[in-house]
Amino acid sequence: MASHRSILDLIGDTPLVEVSELSPNPDARIFVKLEGKNPGGSVKDRVALAMVEDAEKAGLLRPGEAGQVLIEPSSGNTGIGLALVCRVKGYHLVVVLPRNVSPERRQLLELWGAEIVESPGSEGSNGAVRLARQLAAEHPEWVFLYQYANPANPRAHYESTGPEIWRDCPEITHFVAGLGTSGTLLGAGRYLKERNPSIEVWAVEPPAGEMVDGLRNLDDGYIPPIFEELGGADLLDRKTVVRPKESIEWVRRLADSGIFVGLSSGAAMAGAARCAAHLAGGRQAVIVVVSPDDGWKYLSTGAWTGDIDEVSERAGSVIYF
């Protein structure tokens, strides 16, 4: 019997599944990488484990020593991944979470023992980042991994997600992923371009700046430090925004193909479909798109069964990226 010593050994090595029946272009095949198959349920398990192990190597965290506290701002998945890793390794985690995330995210954090500090929903992830920085400054003894500026975040994808895609699909011509912290795009995108410079990297983002109404002016804006430090603007070939309604339409089309994934996966798939539709006729393409998580955490949104306009309206006020 094959078995593993720790649940953390099951992070990564996720499957790729073909969904070319959903491609708007018969010359463009589409494959989805199902990151929801990670033990904490999302792509962020990779980042959480990498950041914690990096902090252990640097001596910031000491395995086995009691009373060590980590703090992290997260709209959900990074917090959940860290909660899993911290539970297994015995660290206490404080997650700064915007108030308007789905209730399932809160429950997952709680079940792995994370302490939740709420930030104002109207400020979105920016507000969570601001509050976490303030709390980290007030508690210098806490370890602040800060996913937006931590090179271990993109490195996790450079060392695992990218190589897995290259191993499973060396025919890849286009890589499509969501832009949150930019870790997936920077890490896996760079790895793939190093293997084949003609691979195009497409970023998909939600209209988050439309949903966040707590910004006073544009100077309150935020670009993840890793995106600027690692030359994100030079790496990306295209960036496209996908609105909630289109994300939900794609989540439903994927479900019709038997694939049950979350709202940001619907957005990413919408981006992959745009990429396929944009290609000139006759050009053979193989698109790999990252599905960040499965659909379980979004059941309460009614995304699969509710009236699409009502569900889209509600999704506009809930952070799902």
Instruction: Note the residues at the interface with other proteins (CB under 8 A).
Output: 44, 74-75, 77-78, 124-126, 128-129, 147-148, 178-181, 183, 205-210, 212-213, 215-224, 233, 236-243, 274, 321
In angstroms, the CA 136 to CA 132 distance is 6
In angstroms, the CA 302 to CA 312 distance is 10
Report which residue type is found at 148: Y
For residue 229, the minimal CB distance to other proteins (Å) is: 14
Measured in whole angstroms, the distance separating CA 283 from the mean position of its chain's CA atoms is 30
Residue placing its CB nearer to other proteins in the complex, 148 or 250: 148
Residue placing its CB nearer to other proteins in the complex, 68 or 174: 174
Contact 279, 28 (CB under 8 A): yes
- Phi, psi at residue 31, to the nearest 5°? -120, 135
Residue placing its CB nearer to other proteins in the complex, 221 or 231: 221
Task: Output the CA–CA distances (angstroms, integers) from residue 82 to 32, 39, 48, 110, 259, in the order listed.
Answer: 24, 12, 5, 12, 26
Residue placing its CB nearer to other proteins in the complex, 32 or 201: 201
* DSSP secondary structure string for all residues of 60-85: SS-TT-TT-EEEEE-SSHHHHHHHHH
For residue 239, the minimal CB distance to other proteins (Å) is: 4
Catalytic residues: 44, 264
For residue 225, the minimal CB distance to other proteins (Å) is: 11
Residue placing its CB nearer to other proteins in the complex, 68 or 125: 125
For residue 255, the minimal CB distance to other proteins (Å) is: 23
Q: Reduced to 3 states, what is the DSSP secondary structure of residue 174?
A: strand
* Contact partners, residue 218, CB within 8 Å, separation at least 6: none
Q: Is 258 left (phi over 0), alpha (psi -120 to 50) or beta?
A: left
For residue 218, the minimal CB distance to other proteins (Å) is: 5
